[in-house]
């Protein structure tokens, strides 16, 4: 049975991608940013996920104003890097997992999340920069990646609560997939930043740090933050942080925070990053937490019950 | 619904217009800015970038732009483009066509040089203080999202919809 072992969030600043592509990672300004991900790459190398579900947003690359899906799940076998105006980033083609992706699509649609299925899509820095931060720059990405594109460009994005509940539905879907797969969910974007208008440059570290705390300890409280509050307090584009709640919803209620990194700035943006592991199931396992395979059906059933309880409460 | 109800609804929907220095790309702006954004999108192709650079005005004839939008594009007035329905991820493509980075365009929109802007970012970015609200009604400092451990889920569900409501609604004169 497939199982979500951990969740990771990371900013996806385009300038980070440019720094990698132009080999500036050793410059002091960028070293400050990249050094924060050294441990993360080690962690990822140990975790060895089979599949990453990457929650991100497209920045007018695959989707223009012609078509604006709120949630779009990539079910293709491959997702080439998009040309964002300087030619496609020199990163490997992202290999999907069409079978698991289709299974998730079917499961969450029947759970009343009417997402859009995408069978052809190019992916921009929103997806590829976090992959670089977590995997470095290998000739091929070491695992399959299922992109989940969320609209945060046109107002209104989905609410934090809706994102969280979608995460729950994704967890249920993954847990019901028969193949033994280790899955990591990534939430990207954020943290506080504004890149548009006269207020551009806004950063609020206090908001960001509290958001990171809440992500570990009390994500349901974060689901109550309104869009206006996100935009007002964390910058117009800081609203991207709703995407992190999909990741968090896909994890268990109790998680272990294994790593955190925060720095200001990367270009216009506060960079925030956290790694949360699901706790070990009570069954004995010789493998370390991050390498564990399946959970019991009992456990999945328990999640189902909890999920209903949460839904009726909120 | 009556006109008063409609305008109350409108006011509620546009609560974010109280955020200073910010043009929220909502359905109204998206509708108004459709062709402006599609023009920007066209610049993803090298041949279009070439044609635009050769003769900007005649290239713009391909798009159903308003005179104001044309003017804003030709004068590279990035704030005006946002006001007229442009979205930053689209207008940034115009910036890229001119060879400018995101940060360069951000600096222009704030009326700053890129150097000064970069310095501000290195020093921790623009502070929220004085930049939270036009009306000042949300000007009071608020704690970032958090909960008190003692509060039960039930109490929280009954209380405010979000940390915003917990904020003191103090009026104050703020720039922005
Ligand atoms: Fe983004």
E-only strand ranges, A90-224: 94-95, 116-118, 144-150, 182-188
Domain regions of chain A by residue span: 3-287
What distance in Å separates the CA atoms of residue B95 and residue B110, rounded to the nearest whole number? 15
Listed by number, the residues of chain B in 37-56 with a beta carbon closer than 8 Å to a beta carbon of chain A are: 37-38, 40-41, 43-44
Average pLDDT over residues A98-106: 98
Assigned token pair, A99: 């079978």
pLDDT(A145) > 80:
yes
Mean pLDDT of A208-231: 98
- Chain B CB contacts of A156 under 8 Å are 26
Residues of A in contact with B146 (CB under 8 A): 210, 213-214, 218, 221
Query: Which of A13, A21, A65, A209 is the best mutation test for B, with the most CBs of B within 10 A?
Result: A65
Q: How far apart are the first and last CA of chain A?
A: 30
Q: Is the pLDDT of residue A251 over 60?
A: yes
B122 touches chain A (CB under 8 A): yes
Q: Is B99 on the interface with A (CB under 8 A)?
A: no
Distances (CA, A) of A277 to A47, A259, B147, B148: 10, 10, 22, 24
What pLDDT was estimated at residue B3?
63
What are the residue boundaries of the structural domains of chain B, listed by start? Answer: 15-122
Chain A residues in contact with B27 (beta carbon < 8 A): 154-155
Residues of A in contact with B26 (CB under 8 A): 154-156
Tell whether omega for the bond before A156 is within 30 degrees of 0, i.e. cis.
yes
Place of tokens 């809706």: A162
Give the gap in angstroms from C-alpha A178 to the nearest C-alpha of chain B: 35
- Say whether residue B21 is in contact with chain A using an 8 A CB cutoff: yes
Across the interface, whether the CB atoms of A231 and B133 are under 8 A apart is answered: no
| Burial class (CB within 10 angstroms; exposed 0-12, middle 13-18, buried 19+) of B64 | exposed
User: What's the CA gap between B120 and B86, in Å, rounded?
Assistant: 26
Which residues are registered as beta bridge partners of A277?
A: A6, A256
Nearest to A218, CA basis, from A245, A181, A196, A190: A245
Q: What is the mean pLDDT of residues A147-155?
A: 98
Cβ(A107)–Cβ(A169) below 8 Å: yes
Using CB atoms and an 8 Å cut-off, which of residues 128-167 of chain B contact chain A?
Answer: 128, 131-133, 138, 142-147, 153, 156-157, 160-164
Q: In what order do the strands lie in the sheet with A182-188?
A: A116-118, A71-74, A144-150, A51-56, A182-188, A3-10, A269-278, A255-266
Going from the Cα of A239 to the center of ligand 1, the distance in angstroms, rounded, reads 9
CB contact under 8 A, A268 and B37: no
Do A154 and B25 count as a contact with CB atoms less than 8 A apart? Answer: yes
Tell me: pLDDT of A192 over 70. yes
Partners of residue A67 in chain B, C-beta under 8 Å: none
Which of A18, A228, A268 lies at the smallest CB-CB distance from B16? Answer: A228
Residue A2 has pLDDT above 50, yes or no: yes
| Three-state SS sequence of A67-119 | CCCCEEEECCCEECECECCCCECCCCCEECCHHHHHHHHHHHHHCCCCCEEEC
A3-287 falls under which CATH superfamily? LigB-like (3.40.830.10)
pLDDT at A229: 97
Q: How far is B150 from chain A (nearest CA, A)?
A: 13
Question: pLDDT category, A86, cuts 50, 70, 90?
Answer: confident
Contact A60/B128, CB-based, under 8 Å?
A: no
Write out the catalytic residue numbers of A: 125, 193
Per-residue pLDDT of chain B (176 residues; tens, 9 = 90+): 566 665 555 555 689 999 999 999 999 999 999 999 999 999 999 999 999 999 999 999 999 999 999 999 999 999 999 999 999 999 999 999 999 988 999 999 999 999 999 999 999 999 999 999 998 865 544 444 444 333 333 333 333 333 333 333 333 323 22
Assign a CATH topology to domain B15-122: Protocatechuate 4,5-dioxygenase; Chain A (1.10.700)
Q: Is the pLDDT of residue A293 over 50?
A: no
Which among B88, B109, B146 has the least Cβ separation from residue A198?
A: B109
């Amino acid at each position: 049975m497939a199982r979500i072992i951990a969740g990771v969030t990371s900013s996806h600043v385009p300038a980070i991608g440019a720094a990698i592509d132009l080999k500036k990672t050793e410059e002091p300004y960028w070293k400050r940013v990249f050094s924060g991900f050294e441990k993360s790459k080690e962690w990822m190398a140990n975790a060895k996920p089979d599949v990453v579900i990457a929650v991100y947003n497209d920045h007018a690359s695959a989707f223009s104003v012609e078509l604006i899906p709120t949630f779009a799940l990539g079910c293709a076998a491959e997702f080439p890097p998009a040309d964002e105006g300087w030619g496609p980033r020199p990163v490997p083609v992202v290999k999907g997992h069409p079978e698991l992706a289709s299974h998730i699509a079917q499961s969450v649609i029947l759970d009343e999340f009417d997402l859009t299925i995408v069978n052809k899509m190019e992916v921009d820095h929103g997806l590829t920069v976090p992959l670089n931060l977590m995997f470095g720059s290998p000739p091929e990405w070491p695992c399959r990646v299922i992109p989940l594109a969320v609209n945060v460009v046109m107002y209104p994005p989905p609410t934090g609560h809706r994102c969280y509940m979608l995460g729950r539905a994704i967890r249920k879907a993954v847990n019901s997939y028969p193949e033994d797969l280790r899955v990591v969910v990534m939430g990207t974007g954020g943290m506080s930043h504004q890149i548009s208008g006269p207020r551009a440059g806004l950063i609020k570290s206090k908001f960001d740090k509290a958001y990171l705390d809440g992500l570990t300890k009390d994500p349901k409280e974060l689901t109550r933050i309104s869009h206006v509050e996100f935009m007002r307090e964390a910058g117009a584009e800081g609203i991207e942080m709703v995407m992190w709640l999909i990741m968090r919803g896909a994890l268990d209620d109790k998680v272990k925070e294994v790593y955190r990194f925060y720095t200001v700035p990367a270009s216009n943006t506060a960079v925030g990053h956290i790694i949360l592991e699901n706790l070990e199931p009570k069954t004995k396992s010789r493998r370390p937490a991050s390498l564990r395979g399946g959970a019991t059906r009992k456990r999945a059933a328990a999640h189902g019950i909890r999920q209903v309880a949460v839904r009726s409460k909120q | 619904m009556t006109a008063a109800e409609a305008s109350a609804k409108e006011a509620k929907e546009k609560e974010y217009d109280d955020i200073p220095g910010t043009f929220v790309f909502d359905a109204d702006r998206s509708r108004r800015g459709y062709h402006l954004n599609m023009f920007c999108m066209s610049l993803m192709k090298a041949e279009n970038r070439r044609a635009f650079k050769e003769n900007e005005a005649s290239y713009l004839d391909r798009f159903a732009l308003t005179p104001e939008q044309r003017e804003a594009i030709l004068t590279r007035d990035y704030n005006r483009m946002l006001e007229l329905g442009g979205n930053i991820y689209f207008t940034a493509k115009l910036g890229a066509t001119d060879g400018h980075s995101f940060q360069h365009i951000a600096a222009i929109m704030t009326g700053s040089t890129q150097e000064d802007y970069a310095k501000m970012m290195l020093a921790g970015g623009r502070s929220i203080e004085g930049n939270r609200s036009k009306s000042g009604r949300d000007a009071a400092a608020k704690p970032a999202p958090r909960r008190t451990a003692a509060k039960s889920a039930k109490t929280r569900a009954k209380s405010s919809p979000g940390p915003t409501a917990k904020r003191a609604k103090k009026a104050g004169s703020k720039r922005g």
